[in-house]
Chains A and B, each alone.
Chain A
Amino acid sequence: MRVNFTVNGRPQEADDVWEGESLLYVLRERLGLPGSKNACEQGECGSCTVRLDGVPVCSCLVAAGQVEGREVVTVEGLADYAKQRAEHGGCASGACGTSLQDAQQWAAKGQDSQTGEGTELSPIQQAFIDAGAVQCGFCTPGLLVAADEMLERNPNPTDADIREALSGNLCRCTGYEKIMDAVRLAAARQSEGV
């Protein structure tokens, strides 16, 4: 079957989709967006977290056919998504967004990938780098999407709020303390308007 939906603000079309296929598979294997990670395939780990009509969900548990006509934001589009939100309160015109090609080639390309300098990053991505919250990096995309959504909803989270918002994302390097630091940092920068 064919599925038409919006990915990172741009209309996309996926062909020859098997009816039992997950949104995660469509994103990774049909659209070439491997940012959302495939790990447990049962909603336990959160590494495939994306926004579906604004709401964080495990893309491995969404049937491809269920996203027909709906909007998905993946980690590849997070920088632009956060920018639009900060500058215009969202993308109403449809002129923004991240093209499939840009999303496929997305990498922290700036002058220095270690510090993120010169790269278009969302505040939460920059905070993860600055706080040293990335170890093996496999859980990072899911955590970024979940944390970004929480900061959008709750600009001044308590530690308990952060823990709850990220409770569906597992880090098997167990680097949770640095992840907490990163989210606190992003929240602090957001409230200072940095």
Chain B
Amino acid sequence: MPQFFSNKRLILLLVGVIFLVALISFSLRDRQNASLPEQIIKDTVGFGQSLVSKPTHYVTGIFNNVDALLNTYDENKRLKSRLEEFAVLQGEVNDLKIENDKFRDLVDKKEDLKKFNPIQATVIARNPDQWEEKLILDQGTMDGIKVNMAVRTSEGLIGKIVQTTPYTSEVELLTTNNTNYRVSAVVSNKKQVFGLIEGFDEKRNELILKRIDSSLNVKKGDKVMTSGLGGIFPKGILIGEVTKVTTDDFGLTKLAYVKPAANFSMLDHVIIAKRDSINIDGSDGSSTNKDQTNKIKSDTTGDGE
């Protein structure tokens, strides 16, 4: 048997390993921006991927349609029972809308945090190894997509844009482990209760809503929406429903578990919400990567002592 590693090979291997470690640490440091060759490769692969994804979406669409058809009877029965309720609600909503517009005119306020410009996008890929919860969309900076925009489905919020190239963009889902990922949220109760969506509980498969004022009341079943106060996301996108309320580790604020409204598997068409009013890099944006965490970290360690 020849020697497994000859001297030349061993040196080559060592140099290779050193080179790789350097490359890994280099690319880990700056993952928000893609360099030009990276962008070109991403766009090329993205183009190929979108060619493959169209027929597969078509096939899965057929399966989904058949599935929907099988449930039609039950669904129809349930929907009919809610139809009367819906008519009453519709009248009420119209009434409120007119009233709201009138008041807006009265105070001469044009901007609205709720308003957004929807951009339709198709999911062309999902990170196959699923260690990071990422999607790749077929719209990029050429279509007006910018980093930190909110991404939603018809059911609710699913994540935000973390990286863009000219023809593709990358979404980090709400279910990520990234500690710098925050969404400013509001619990719509009788009173508005504000908090931050921070982190994901893997055991319960639910989002964690932190920093709720402990004097305010949050109940199981309350709906959680984006507040629009984070600076980037529009207001009023449904995030989920509260399932459990406890106090946090330090007993100072409340913590709620939120079951996400959107279904995170089988995502194909999503809507990117481009907010109409001015964007400020607040807690929804990337400023959380810097100052705020340090501040909070020093705060919490102070509390712990």
The judgment on whether A and B are partners is no
